[in-house]
Structure 1
Amino acid sequence: MSSDMSKCLATLGATLQDSIGKRVLVKLRDGYEIRGILKSFDQHVNLLLEDAEEVVDNNIFKRGTMVVRGENVLFVSPT
């Protein structure tokens, strides 16, 4: 693995670690947006969210606890 890739992964991990226990917005490849409290993540960027809500056309649908598979994640942002 290149040095630049290692730095990128380290930054990603640190950023996600700082977001544990906080509300985040997750944008998925299929256009869905999920908001929830980030409880944990792994090296594949699989995310465990609590109090998750799906946002569709400014409508909010409560989803509860969700696991979001990392391969579907475009970005994760604090809300």
Structure 2
Amino acid sequence: MTDDELILQGANTHHNEGIYYAEFDNGSSINFDLCSGVLNYWDDVVWTNRDRSIDVMLDCEYKLGDIEVEIESELYIVKIAIE
């Protein structure tokens, strides 16, 4: 669909929607956003260290689910409960 067709259907193009934010005991965090553009939707999942000086883009599938990732020899796990 073109942008005009998407807008007529009520879609919000070029949008960034926060899905969840998880903060860990060591102060680091994982943020999951769902993004939309002209052609598609994608997930933007980022791990950020405690002092916010390092961001690591995580390669996740386009689905809402658990995340398990090891960064700097530390294992981070986000469990999603869908109610």
TM class by smaller structure: 0.3 to 0.5
- Determine which structure has more spread, i.e. the larger CA radius of gyration: 2
Higher relative contact order (CA 8 A, sep 6+): 1
TM-score (ref. length: structure 2):
0.32
Q: By percentage of residues, which structure has more helix?
A: 1
TM-score (ref. length: structure 1):
0.33
Q: By percentage of residues, which structure has more strand?
A: 1
